[in-house]
Structure formats: structure tokens, C-alpha cells
Structure 1
Amino acid sequence: MAVLTTLGLVLTGCQANPGDAPTVEDQAPATDIEDGAGDADDTDQGDSSVAPELRRIEIGVDSVPADLNPHLVSTQSMLTSTVAELTLPSAYRRGPDGLRHDINNDLLDSVEIDEGDEDAPEKVVYVINSRAQWSDGTPIVGSDFEYLHQQITTQPGVTSTELYDSVDEISTSAGGRRVTVTFDSPTAQWRELFANLLPSHIYRGENRPFSTMMSDIPAASGGVYTVRQYDAGRGTLLLERNTRFWGQIPPRTDQLEFSTVNDTDTAAQMLRTGQIQAVTTRNSGVAAESIRTVPGVQARTTTLRRQLTLQLNTASTRLDAPDARAEVLAAVDADRVARLVTGHPRATAPQDDLVADVAGPTTGEQGTALAGVSRKRPLQIGADTLDEEAVEAARRVVDTLVDKGIPATVVTPSATELYADLLPRGEVDAVVTWQDDARRWTDLRSRYACDEADRPLSGTSGGDSVDTDVGAGESGATTSGATGDTDSTDSTNSTDGTDGADGADGADGAGDPGDRGSTADATAERARAANVTGICDDTVDALLADEPEGGSLEAVPEELRVRIGELHLSLPLVADRVLVGAGPDLVGPDQDLSEWPIGPRSGPFYTADRWTRIDTDTEPDTESDTESDTTTTPSAEETDDE
């Protein structure tokens, strides 16, 4: 048995027992943690001379997300990712390249390879730190691992499905502190699993719906911060130091407050007066110049690895053939959509380098492939009613389609309705949603392989119409979290949820891109997840099964790129391009903002727990006015452009 990392700690302390979830006895007084105990560099936290206002960093943002669940396709955003990284524990830490490499020693004492090798094990044993606990004092145990796996493999609209589908069994022992995970085959990207764990004793114990359970203040934290206040409608989100955090390196600042700032002029004035210490905005054009001209403020632009994408629904009776989908994609002016959504006159739509550009029909008036589309039966382009940018992009897509003679309209239901009802039933023809760039082979499989997981439909549609171009709101349908024994300490959980699934049987005619059999039949009875389009194609599945060593995307076979291109499934519309401004009273990882690490998901907030605030009236000015547009060669973890 290979042990990857061991801290040499003796597993002592309070263990989880059957019955009500126990509380971990504090091994260090909460006041010690509040004073920054355990981090010699955090002397500012233990210095009583630091003014209370300097223990709070205020940040202006375009909007506060309507949901903080990081595991949903519909909630992907820079701020959602940031909150998850700062409040939810993960088995491995995410590096600046977006991948997880290093064990999280705060959560785990060790990780042991029980079967197979480190690159692609078949059985892995996680030993949880005996001090690891949620902010309510409940130990973090194996049931939290089980709960996340269960939700990812059964709920609609979730991300990262492929890796969790490879888990065959999860068992726990040693009072829930020892978690044994068995895979159905050697699994290369296993370190990406069990990221942003959730408190199962609350969410599963109270049977909260997975799709909406984090639309309010999250139930508990297992990270350096906890969510103290959260009101998406008012545009406020306050993170506060988690006084029960047991790790060796607490955050350097007591509070991080994110607030919506209505416009760039207001943001510039608030930076000028010190009301906010930083600002992030997707608004482009004159915004960059407006922020940069404020004395003492540094600014940079960066493009995160996330895109707003138009994804066509293969279950739609009008778009079940590749020729019809190609006609729609050819009619959409993606660059125009990018300019209108971002407000940047030079914005262009991003390119998907992993998909070959396969020519479809010539752009023009509606052709024969879309014969079923008419003014009475226009194409239905969906977007989550809570995602303002997705809704705006959907409206612009409709404008371009109508301009080309293709009748279309926008529908804005809830995310639950989209993924658990309208998409699988073929009642919307396409959807606009955010999508992370693929970084691993499993990302491609999550996106394009047949999804045979048992994700039940919500059953809310029944042929009912959906409100057009207005927020449809909640339909009343919810998908409740799976029930189970949340307090079991020594258990085995078989994860085979595919009984009765016959997904591959419906993929007839996959060899011909003009055939209609390679799509909806196999997935019609299942809600959608990371495979938003619902594509189920024999050729694609066969090519995806031949995973390269280590699961790298450095050499995606041309045959796979071409085949996906032939299916005409999606079109990138808008890159997640962010302007960052930092005031002179904000101290980050480097004096030069252009040298700050940028997370591919959390952006400039990748190091937010290391930020501090100074009093510029008394502190020497060590930062010169810098106008940084970061025009150096982009690294693997970021691309900066103008």
C-alpha cells in the first residue's frame, strides 16, 4: 500500500458516532484562531492596534450570484467558485493551472493507494484529519464524501459527472474518518474528486433540494471563511473568518465583503475614496481607462477559462439532425453577440480549439433542414431566469436568427426546469449557459459521452407552455436530495445507479452525421447534467473510451475533433473577460497587480485569503501608479488580452 502524504498525526479526538452528529471538541480556543494562531506571518491579526475597519476588505462586483452551489452548471461564476474555495473543503487543492495536485493537509492526514498505481489507481483510501469539522462543530466524515458522490451521479444540471460515475463503491470505517473509494477501472484524474464537500448531516439530513439548497446562506462551512450574510437581490455577500477552522494557516483578514456596484463611474469613485479596496467587472471599453486613471489604483484585464455558450438540444424534434443544428449555428453572428453582451466594440467570440470547424450550410435564409420552424412554432432558446448575462445573450442570439429569417424566441425558466424537464423532453431547442473550458479528458467525456446515470425527470412539464422572454420563476417542481443513513460510521455504499439504463441502445446510425438516431432516444428519460446537449453518439463514445495516458488534452485525436464538429452541437459566444482594479490600501501577494496569480475559475480572488488592508494615511506608499494591461505572453493559468 502506497501512502502519498502523511503528517504523522495520531488520529485522536472525538469521532463521529451513530445517532445525532457529534461536535468536535475544540483543540485550540476560538479566540486563539481569531487572533491568528498558527500562522507566524499573520501578526496583523493578533495586533490589537489594527483598526477594526482594516480587518475588512470591501470589493465591488457586477453582481452577486443567485446560488452558491459550485456543483451546478447554471451557477458557474467567478464569485461562486471563490466562495466555494474559501468555505468548502476539498481533498486536493486547486493549483493556478486549474487542476488539483497537492493534498489538502487541513482535511486529510493521508491518502493511500490501496490498489493500482498513483497515476491511475483502482482503490484509494482517504484518512480524514481528526480535527476536521464543519463550522457547527460536526466532524467532517465519510458520509460527506458519499453525499457529494450521490448527488453528482443522480441530480440534474450538475458538473463533472464523468469522474464520479467511475466510482464503483465508497465505504467508511474508523468512525467515519477512513474513506475507501473503489473505482470501476484505473482512473487517471482521481485527484479532482471530492472537491468542495458539502455538510451532508444538514443537507441530506433535512432532505433539502440539491438544485436550490444554497440559494440562501449556506448551512455550514469547512474552510477558512464562513458565509455570514448573503442577499443576491440586494447584491451583498459577506465572508467572515471561520472561528472553528482547525488548519495551520487562517485567513489574514477577518472579513471579505462583496457588493454590487452599479456602474464603472461609481466604482472609480469608491476606489478613489477608499469605500472599496478592489473591483472586478466584465464591463469593457472605457471601463478599463476609467479605473486606471484613478490615482494609486492598479488595473489589469484577464480572461478566465469559462465561456458563455449556445448549446443545441439534440432531443428537439427540430434540431435532432446535424444539418438542422448546423443551419442554426451558421445563422448566429457570435462576434456580434459578444460585442453587444460585453459592451466592448472590439470583442470577438472565443474559439473552441478542441472541436474542428466543420462547415455547415451557407449562412442565409432558412433552409429545408429547418422546415419545422415557423412563426407559429419558433425555435425556443432557453436561459436560466436568474442569469442576467445568459438571458441577454439568448436575446441577442434570437435577434440574429430572426434577422436571418429563422423564427425564434427566448424562454427563461428556472435552471431546475431547464435541466430536469424542458431539455430532456425536447421542449426547448437550445440553451445559453456558462461552460468551463475542458482541461482533462474526463471533461470531454462529461460533455460529450452518453450520460447513462439515473437522473429522473422532474415531471413538471406535461406539455405545459413556458413563459416567453420573461422569468418563468419556479414551477413548483424540486428534485429532493437523496435520502440515506447520514450518521453511519462504518458502511459500504455501492454506487451502481445504472440498473435498467439502456443509453447506448438508442444511438443508432451514429456513423452518419446526417442520421437522427445518434441523439435523443438514449437520454430522453434522464435529466441533463454536464452533457447539456444530450448527445449520445457511438463514434464519439468509442473515441472517448481510448483515453490517453494521464488523461491529457495535449493531443486530442483529430478524428474526435472532426466527429464532434460534424455533430454541430454548440457555439461559444462570450469569453469571461474580467477587469480587475486594486486600490492603494489593498496588499496582495505582490506589489505589482500584474504579478498576482489568477485562478482559472476564481480569477483574482485565487489568493483572497492572503489579502490585507492598510491605512494609506499612515503607511508609506510602496506602490507606484501602475497601468497594467498584462500584455506579456499568457501562461497556462491565464490569458490577458485587450
Structure 2
Amino acid sequence: MRSVGLAIVVGLLVFLAACTNAPVVAPAPEPPPVEPEPTPTQVVVGVDDLGAGFNPHLLADRSPVTQALSTLVLPSVFRPDAEGALQLDTTVATSAEVVSTSPFTVSYELNVQASWSSNSPIAAEDFVYLWQQMRSAPGTVDGEGYRHITDVRSRAGGKAVDVVFDQAYPQWQYLFSGLLPAHILKDAPGSWTGATAGGLPASGGPFRVIGVDRGRGEVTLARNDLYWATPATLDQIVLRRLDAGPMAEALRTGGVDVAMPATEPEFTSALAAYEGTPAPRPTVTDLALRADNGPLADVRVRQAIGSLLDRERIRTEVAPGALAANAFGLAPSQPGYAPTGPAGPDPAAAERLLTEAGYTRSATGAWVLGSTPLDIVVAAGAERSTDLAVAQAVARQLEAAGIGVEVVAPPAADLYSLRTVAATPPPTSTTPTPVPTATPAPTTAPAGAPTAAATTATTTAAATSATSSPNATVRADVLVLPRAVGGPVGPQLASDYGCPEPTAALPNPPALPGGFCSAVLQPDLEAVATAAVPDPGRLATIERVLWAQLPALPLFQQTSLIVSTRSAATATGFGPGPLVTGPLTGAQRWVPPAD
């Protein structure tokens, strides 16, 4: 028994020892709390329209939003300072200077750190791409300087560029602004027009485009984390399209921090609680009168149209906050501007001119040439609501004077580049204008209803435009045309009214949207385009000849209403900015408004 008891005791001791040496399992640690993602710092900018596309070099894409994107996203060799004087942007080029006068050659040394957000360098190929498009693509903005370039040469692995001109060109510093990413666009479907309709595919500035939502009416910019210079302070800038009432409410509740809508009654009234500042936009709205074909090929008919139209009435109906324009060169907001044309209208002069051209009044009061009625086509870009309102106002006045009018609304990119366009009628209701599928364009319509002027115009569309077959094409006689302003007046006049000359490299240069070309005027246009300071006498001669030939009829320069909340005004210093770069100039230095 003693041996059995001893065995039991030994077993218990062994068991207890085994239990004592067993490892202790610690409880699992609590997972760390998940930190919420920080809310991006941002400024929301209220706008009245997003525009048709975002290529700053296309007439069809002229808009304050495109101007803002060009200023904040695209690289430019020179930029205007607060007074509008051009300064070298050393984040893009460390030097740019004339290195030869025979031939006239400008050499650019590019910043070796400068690169696109796609990680490709900003290089000579971007200069080549812009030069080639500006001299060969129709419907461009200020192409004159690029037509004088004969070669663009790459050095230092693309980080140095020599630009050769056919003669001395003193305004060379205005070229190569808003460079585009050639390595993406040159092979992209639609390239020059289509590839920028939905945004900008790469950034060479402090911000990049991360979203274009036309259904919501928003363009979102985010800080470009690959930007090699001082980074932007804000995480995001959102450009939000709103009508007048919602914009005022968004400013009141904090949904919008600053705003820059058109200076029109619905906005000035809705935003009356804020101290607004008018800021001119770098675009004058003209009527281009087709001088190369159709009834307006006769200068007497063009002059008659000009005499019939009450331009001041058109402005007050469509854009009463705009500045009346009455010159072909300088815009009303530019120093030195002075009206150079007649005030008008002059119905007696119009009747005399039409009679001299062989037209008579029919029993119904319509103007006819023999048995053929005087019918013209007035066209405006489908995506440009103010232009559509202008076209309708023009149609009402001409029809009241006995001229038949068809109003069409093709895609803006087609209107300024093609000789014939789709005979798409303008909208007949307040629904957003659909974008035809024939041309690459935004896939969804802008949010919200049109402005009051556009609404008034579209409700009368059925009375002022003929019904066209969906597949019909027409040649527009009168085009509502945006004209870029803000640069030197000589190259601007040559770009807008000169005759692009054929060269061995470009035997068929694109014609101007209005088809105008005057051999008599061409020497004066060339002289002012290549002068450091244009001769005032030549400028006066050009204005006089243009009023006599009337390839276009200036209407008005739109302005923006610059408003902001109190906290946003302190945080951003939001203001008009230089005419060329606009209210978002310097937005990379904005800070978030205080709550």
C-alpha cells in the first residue's frame, strides 16, 4: 500500500510540475482605432457654365473654366504679372532669349525638373506639337505668330528648344503659352479637339484635373503631387456650375466659397448681398459674316446686314452686363480702346444697299433677287448658350426686316472648322442642349437650366428657324464667333482677319471661320503683326477698311461678377486677375477659408 501511495504522490508532483511549466497565452491586443480620412481642404468656385471643352487654343472652347484650367494646369513659358506684363516662368524655362537675328531665332532652356504628371518630361516635342497644330488646325486662337515659325529644333535631349522664324517677330514672348502634353495627344483619338473635351489628360502645373462630371456640373482639380516647384496649399479646387438662385444659396450656406458668373441681371440680383466686382473676360462676341460664298459674298449685302442690326439691342437682350464693343482690334476693357465704327442701326442705308445689290421688296415685304428670296443661315455653337441667344436675337431682327433666316446649332468645334455643318436646329425648350454625336464632345449635358437670356431665346426658336432634316447640312452665312483678346493687337488683327499664306510645309493652310481674305489689307496686317509697336496710322487704316469690308460685326465683351464670402475673401484674395489668366491666377497659394 505504501508503494502505491508513493506512486500516487510522485504522479501528482509530475502533473503539477507539468502544469506549472505550461506557457501562458496572452490575450490578443485590441486593434488600433481606425483614423478617419481627413477631409480634403478645398475651395469651391461657382460658375455659370462649364464650356464645351478645355483646349485653350480653340475658339470653340473659350470659357472662364478653360481659362482657369489653362492657368493652373498647363505650363507656359511666360505669364503675366499683376500688372499684366509678361514674366518668364522659371518653373518651366530657366531662360528664353533671342540668340540670332538672321534667321530670327529664340532659344529656350527648359527646367530639367519640369515634367508632366504622367512622368514624361516637358520637352521640345510639346513645342513642336503646339506649333504644328496652331498653324494647321482650323478654328484656333491667335495663330499668327506660329505661322511665322519655320522650324522648332530640339537640343539637350529635348530640354532645350530653338525656334526659328521667317522674319523678326518681336511678340515671340506671347507664344508657347498653355503647352499641351504631346506624348498623349498626338496619338489620341480626336487629338486636338476630342481628347480635351472631357478634361486635360496630364498636368504640368500645380493642379491636375481629376474629374469632369457634366451631370453634376463640376470640374475637380487636385494638387499635383508630382509638381516640382512649390506645391499648392489646397488639396482641391472645385468649379461648380450653378444657376443664380442656387449659387446665392450655396454662398450663404457654405457650399460655394467664391463665384465668377457672367455679370447678368439674374446673377447680379441674386448676389446683391455680396460686394461684387466686375472682371472683363478675354473674349469679344462677334458676328462673322461669310464673305467667301452665298449672298453675303456681296459686300453690299454684308453692309446692309450690319445696317439693319441694332447691336445695342442685341447686347441688352442677351448680355446687358457686357461691355459694348465697336472696334475690330482692342477690346473695350483694354487701355487705348476707342469705338471706330458707326453706332447704327440705319434701315435707310440698308434699303439703299440691298437695292444697289439688285434686291427688291416682294408683295409680302420680303427681300428678293428676281424670284429668289434673300434667305440666310445664322449659326451658333450648340454648347454655347449665350451665342445661341445672340443668334436668336439676330434672327428676330432680320426677319422683321424682310430677310428669311434659318438658325442652326451645330457643335461649336464643327462650326469654326468646317465649311458646311449639320443643320441642327437650336433647342425649343429649356432642356440642356444635347451634344450631337458627329463630333467628340462632352457625353452628358450641363446641370441646371439655361440663363434667362438663353431661356427667352429658345422659347422663340420655332418661330425663327426652319425645320431641317436630321441629316441635312448647311453653309452658315452668319456665325456667332468668340474673338480672343488680351494679347498684342497687331498679331491679333492678323490672326482674325489675315490671309494665311501657303508654304512648302503647309500648302493648304486653314481658312478663317468667316472665309474673309483681303489682298489689299494683307500688307498692313503683316506690318502691324511683326512690329514691336504697331503704327497708329496703320491700325486706323485697318479699322477703316474692315468697317468698309465688314467681315464681322463686333457686339460685346462679357464680364464676370467676382464675389466671395467674407472668410473666402480673406483666405484667397479672390479678384479679377490679369485679363489673360483670369480670377484663378495664383490659386495655388490660396488657403482654406475659415469655417
Post-superposition shift, 1:282?
Answer: 1.3
**SS across alignment from 1:238:** strand
Q: Letter of the aligned partner of 1:110 in structure 2?
A: S
Q: Letter of the aligned partner of 1:442 in structure 2?
A: P
Post-superposition shift, 1:53?
Answer: 4.8
Cα distance 1:497–1:430, how it changes in 2: closer, same or farther (>3 A)? farther
Q: Does 1:350 align with 2:325?
A: yes
Residue number in structure 1 paired with 2:236: 255
**SS across alignment from 1:152:** helix
Greater radius of gyration (CA): 2
Gaps of 5+ in 1: 1-50, 455-495, 502-525, 617-642
Residue from 286, 300, 319 that aligns with 1:323: 300
Cα distance 1:72–1:588, how it changes in 2: closer, same or farther (>3 A)? farther
Post-superposition shift, 1:554?
Answer: 6.0
Residue number in structure 2 paired with 1:430: 478
Residue from 284, 291, 314 that aligns with 1:337: 314
For 1:298 and 1:52, locate their aligned partners in 2 and report how far apart those are by CA, in whole Å: 33
For 1:426 and 1:370, locate their aligned partners in 2 and report how far apart those are by CA, in whole Å: 24
Does structure 1 retain, via aligned residues, the 8 Å contact 2:94–2:110?
Answer: yes
List per-residue Cα deviations over 1:173-207 (Å, max 9, x = no partner). Answer: 21111111111101110011111111111111335
Cα distance 1:338–1:375, how it changes in 2: closer, same or farther (>3 A)? farther
Does structure 2 retain, via aligned residues, the 8 Å contact 1:381–1:409?
Answer: yes
Q: Letter of the aligned partner of 1:246 in structure 2?
A: W
Q: Does 1:599 align with 2:574?
A: no
Q: Does 1:202 align with 2:184?
A: yes
**SS across alignment from 2:585:** helix
Q: Letter of the aligned partner of 2:585 in structure 1?
A: Y
Q: Give the alignment of 1:372-451 within 5 angstroms.
A: 378-422=375-419, 427-437=475-485, 439-440=487-488, 441-451=490-500
Cα distance 1:155–1:188, how it changes in 2: closer, same or farther (>3 A)? same
Cα distance 1:124–1:269, how it changes in 2: closer, same or farther (>3 A)? same
Cα distance 1:552–1:246, how it changes in 2: closer, same or farther (>3 A)? farther
**SS across alignment from 2:240:** strand
For 2:83 and 2:395, locate their aligned partners in 1 and report how far apart those are by CA, in whole Å: 35
Residue number in structure 1 paired with 2:262: 282
For 1:174 and 1:255, locate their aligned partners in 2 and report how far apart those are by CA, in whole Å: 35
List per-residue Cα deviations over 1:588-637 (Å, max 9, x = no partner). Answer: 5886x6xx452214432223222222324xxxxxxxxxxxxxxxxxxxxx
Cα distance 1:359–1:230, how it changes in 2: closer, same or farther (>3 A)? closer
Residue number in structure 1 paired with 2:336: none
Post-superposition shift, 1:97?
Answer: 5.5
Residue from 612, 615, 620 that aligns with 2:591: 612
Cα distance 1:162–1:336, how it changes in 2: closer, same or farther (>3 A)? same
Q: Give the alignment of 1:569-588 within 5 angstroms.
A: 569-587=551-569
Q: Does 1:58 align with 2:58?
A: no
Residue number in structure 1 paired with 2:506: 498
For 2:502 and 2:221, locate their aligned partners in 1 and report how far apart those are by CA, in whole Å: 35
Cα distance 1:276–1:207, how it changes in 2: closer, same or farther (>3 A)? closer
The structure where helix makes up a greater share of residues is 2
Does structure 2 retain, via aligned residues, the 8 Å contact 1:224–1:241?
Answer: yes
Q: Letter of the aligned partner of 1:127 in structure 2?
A: E
Q: Letter of the aligned partner of 2:587 in structure 1?
A: A
Does structure 2 retain, via aligned residues, the 8 Å contact 1:292–1:581?
Answer: no
List per-residue Cα deviations over 1:333-382 (Å, max 9, x = no partner). Answer: 111111221366xx663222647326999415763337467986621011
For 1:395 and 1:290, locate their aligned partners in 2 and report how far apart those are by CA, in whole Å: 26
Residue number in structure 2 paired with 1:536: 517
For 1:348 and 1:330, locate their aligned partners in 2 and report how far apart those are by CA, in whole Å: 20
Residue number in structure 2 paired with 1:110: 95
> Identity rate of aligned residues, in percent?
25
Residue number in structure 1 paired with 2:80: 94
Q: Give the alignment of 1:479-494 within 5 angstroms.
A: none
Does structure 2 retain, via aligned residues, the 8 Å contact 1:313–1:534?
Answer: yes
Q: Letter of the aligned partner of 2:231 in structure 1?
A: P
For 2:474 and 2:248, locate their aligned partners in 1 and report how far apart those are by CA, in whole Å: 46
Post-superposition shift, 1:543?
Answer: 1.4
Q: Give the alignment of 1:26-105 within 5 angstroms.
A: 52-53=38-39, 55-96=41-82, 101-105=86-90
Q: Give the alignment of 1:553-572 within 5 angstroms.
A: 556-572=538-554
Post-superposition shift, 1:301?
Answer: 1.9
For 1:413 and 1:339, locate their aligned partners in 2 and report how far apart those are by CA, in whole Å: 25
**SS across alignment from 2:260:** strand
Does structure 2 retain, via aligned residues, the 8 Å contact 1:66–1:215?
Answer: yes
Cα distance 1:597–1:60, how it changes in 2: closer, same or farther (>3 A)? closer
Post-superposition shift, 1:316?
Answer: 2.4
**SS across alignment from 1:432:** strand
Residue number in structure 2 paired with 1:523: none
Cα distance 1:281–1:554, how it changes in 2: closer, same or farther (>3 A)? farther
List per-residue Cα deviations over 1:20-70 (Å, max 9, x = no partner). Answer: xxxxxxxxxxxxxxxxxxxxxxxxxxxxxxx95571101111111120011
Does structure 2 retain, via aligned residues, the 8 Å contact 1:439–1:553?
Answer: no
Q: Letter of the aligned partner of 1:540 in structure 2?
A: L
More displaced stretch, 566-575 vs 310-319: 566-575
Does structure 2 retain, via aligned residues, the 8 Å contact 1:307–1:434?
Answer: yes
For 2:487 and 2:46, locate their aligned partners in 1 and report how far apart those are by CA, in whole Å: 30
Does structure 1 retain, via aligned residues, the 8 Å contact 2:395–2:405?
Answer: yes
Post-superposition shift, 1:320?
Answer: 1.1
Post-superposition shift, 1:110?
Answer: 1.8
Does structure 1 retain, via aligned residues, the 8 Å contact 2:44–2:238?
Answer: yes
Post-superposition shift, 1:325?
Answer: 0.5
Q: Letter of the aligned partner of 1:351 in structure 2?
A: N
Residue number in structure 1 paired with 2:249: 269
Post-superposition shift, 1:549?
Answer: 4.2
Residue number in structure 1 paired with 2:217: 235
**SS across alignment from 1:230:** strand
Residue number in structure 2 paired with 1:138: 120
Cα distance 1:98–1:215, how it changes in 2: closer, same or farther (>3 A)? farther
For 1:334 and 1:53, locate their aligned partners in 2 and report how far apart those are by CA, in whole Å: 49
**SS across alignment from 1:381:** strand
Q: Does 1:311 align with 2:311?
A: no
Cα distance 1:394–1:289, how it changes in 2: closer, same or farther (>3 A)? closer
Residue number in structure 1 paired with 2:144: 162
Q: Letter of the aligned partner of 1:384 in structure 2?
A: G
Give the TM-score, by structure 2 length.
0.75
Q: Letter of the aligned partner of 2:72 in structure 1?
A: L
Cα distance 1:402–1:601, how it changes in 2: closer, same or farther (>3 A)? farther
Post-superposition shift, 1:228?
Answer: 0.5
**SS across alignment from 1:326:** helix
Residue number in structure 2 paired with 1:22: none
Q: Letter of the aligned partner of 1:307 in structure 2?
A: V
Cα distance 1:430–1:606, how it changes in 2: closer, same or farther (>3 A)? same
Post-superposition shift, 1:219?
Answer: 1.3
For 2:59 and 2:313, locate their aligned partners in 1 and report how far apart those are by CA, in whole Å: 25
More displaced stretch, 564-573 vs 201-210: 201-210
Cα distance 1:603–1:361, how it changes in 2: closer, same or farther (>3 A)? closer
